[in-house]
Chains A and B, each alone.
Chain A
Amino acid sequence: MNNFEFFRPGSVHEALRLLEEYGDDAKLLAGGQSLLILMREGLVQRKVIIGVAEIEEMKGIRLDQAAGVVRIGAATIHRDVETSPLIAATFPMLSEAYPILGSVQVRNFGTLGGNLCHNAPGSDPPSPLIALGATLTVEGPGGKRTVCLEDFGTGFYETSLGSNEMLTEVQVPLAAARSAGAYHKYAMRANDMPFVNVAAHVTLDAARTTCTDVRIVLGGVASTTIRARQAEALLSGKRIADDRIADAGQAAAAESDPISDTYASAEYRRQLVPVAVRRTVAAAVERARAL
């Protein structure tokens, strides 16, 4: 790696001041479980690295009943999200996405915010979070702005984060009654990046026969995590039926644009998407029915 300068600001305010001073010469480092690998490979090089993993105000998971959200600090390590009783009780789908992310060693230092800003295709957290309608607080010299997570990822390892901005918090809205989600991941080995992942979240009517709301989110099949909106439209406001769910799977496949890489070919991914969507939506529906 190049001989960079390293700063460890104690607050968001100080970190933003450093970002303002160094601009494109700087990059934020949280847990380093993604960025350090790129730096070691020579794919990312900056004169200045700003370490934000220890900023206390960016850590923690808490329920904000008044705002109807659970707030997760951007510097919260994956392991804390994984083992949080609040997350397990409130968003079981999110809790389930974590034990199969990387390894314990990675989850002990990797942060949720770092993961979302890195935006590697196929990454686990964005899919269930987008399915839950998560929003982000981004802070910069102009103040704070709120971004929908589904709009945050703009492409392959790219987000809408400006070079003088930082992600400070993730908000996950409390779900409506009769809502449930499921997350399925397909990877070669236990700790590999998924080559396809699907998160589905459904809300049922009182009779539990119709989906009043549905979100279907796909990872690893496009340059960033995507919502399969045409697939959703086939189910939203409609009676639940197996053939409808199967059609949604086919629609999702048509909305995917996978590439071939080390993990899987484009053909395999395209074949897998309708099956994965069908299974994940069915699992979410079953859970919602059981509530």
Chain B
Amino acid sequence: MKHAISLTVNGQPHKIEVESRRLLIEVIRDDLGLLGAKQGCETGHCGACTVLVNGKSAHACCLLAVQADGKEVTTIEGIGTRDQLHPVQEAFVKELGYQCGFCTPGMVMTSVALLSENPNPTAEQVRAGLTGNVCRCTGYIKIVKSVLAAAENLRAAQ
């Protein structure tokens, strides 16, 4: 069964025809060509597919595209540009919160949502907030440091 769905992705409205069984991650990557969100575990554990839906972090591999009909989706491509990185991206670069980079878009998106809900988190709260994002390379220490640094910079900018 096909559905005509309306998605706003990174501020741009899209009208797409999708089969009911298409997943949001497939539509984002294959139909819209946004390759930042990754397909890792495909079972809602690793968080490499994390995007924001109406500002809330989501495993895009665990949502049908039709579940996002009428909603706003934000991907890593939507939060900053090469010339003007988002403060969270800046912090990840400065603090070296990445190695291979596969988990990084997901880590950044979850962190953006986390900081919008809690602008002054403790390290413990950052760790708890990132349980849905798995990293094989870094051991997480510099990821947590990056999020805390981003939090500080965002607070200072206000």
Task: Tell me the dominant secondary structure on chain B's binding face.
Answer: mixed
- CB within 8 Å of B: which of A68-114? 79, 99, 102-106, 108-109
Question: For A109, what are the chain B residues with a Cβ–Cβ distance below 8 Å?
Answer: 53, 56, 58, 62-63, 67
Question: Closest chain B residue to A36 by CB distance?
Answer: B62
Across-interface contacts of B59 in A (CB, < 8 A): 33, 103, 105-106
Please tell me if the beta carbons of A49 and B20 are within 8 angstroms of each other in the complex. Answer: yes
How far is B113's CA from A6's CA once the two chains are assembled, in angstroms? 30
A30 to chain B: closest CB distance in Å? 10
B132 near A6 (CB under 8 angstroms)?
Answer: no
Q: How many angstroms from the CA of A51 to the CA of B3 in the assembled complex?
A: 14
Residues of A within 8 A of B131 (CB): 102-104, 189-191
Contacts A6-B64, A36-B63, A40-B42 known; 5 new A-B pairs at CB < 8 A: A36-B44, A37-B44, A40-B43, A51-B67, A105-B59
Q: Are B21 and A105 in contact (CB under 8 A)?
A: no
Of all A-B residue pairs in the complex, the 5 with the closest CB atoms, nearest first, are A103-B132, A6-B20, A190-B131, A1-B21, A191-B131
Query: A106 touching B44 by the CB < 8 A rule?
Result: yes
**Nearest opposing residue in chain B for A33, CB measure:** B62
Contact with B along A29-52 (1 / 0, CB 8 A): 100110011001100000001010
Contact B110 A37 (CB under 8 A): no
Q: Does A118 reach chain B (CB closer than 8 Å)?
A: no
Q: Contacts A108-B57, A109-B62, A190-B128 given; indicate if A3 touches B45 (C-beta within 8 A).
A: no
Supposing A104-B129, A106-B132, A190-B128 touch, asked if A6 and B1 sit within 8 A by C-beta, the answer is yes
B44:A6 contact, CB within 8 angstroms? no
A102 adjacent to B132 (CB under 8 Å): yes
Contact A105 B58, CB 8 Å, known A32-B63, A40-B43, A191-B131 = yes
Contact residues in B for A102 (Cβ distance below 8 Å): 44, 131-132
Residue B97 at the A interface, CB < 8 A?
Answer: no
By CB atoms of chain A within 10 A, which of B23, B53, B58, B131 has the most?
A: B131
Docked-complex contact A8 and B66, CB < 8 angstroms: yes
Answer yes or no: A53 CB below 8 A from chain B CBs.
yes
Report which B residues bind A (CB closer than 8 A): 1, 3, 19-21, 23, 42-45, 47, 50, 53, 56-59, 62-64, 66-67, 110, 113-114, 128-129, 131-133
Give bound CA distance, A52 to B126, whole Å.
Answer: 32
- The answer to whether B21 touches A3 (Cβ under 8 A) is yes
Q: How far, in whole Å, are A103 and B61 apart by their CA atoms in the complex?
A: 14
- B132 with A191: CB separation less than 8 A: yes
| B66 neighbours in A (Cβ, 8 Å) | 6, 8, 51
Q: Once the chains are docked, how many angstroms separate the CA of A172 from the CA of B53?
A: 30
Residue of A nearest to B106 (CB): A105
Q: How far is the CB of B37 from chain A (nearest CB, A)?
A: 12
Q: Is the CB of B110 within 8 A of A104?
A: yes
Instruction: Check A4–B20 contact: CB distance below 8 A.
Output: yes
> Is A103 within 8 A of B47, CB to CB?
yes
Residue numbers in B under 8 Å from A6 (CB-CB): 1, 3, 20, 64, 66
Within 8 Å CB of B21, what residues of A? Answer: 1-4
1/0 per position for A145-187, CB-CB distance to B under 8 A? 0000000000000000000000000000000000000000000
Is A267's beta carbon under 8 Å from chain B?
no
Query: Which residues of A are found within 8 Å of B67, using beta-carbon distances?
Result: 32, 51, 53, 109
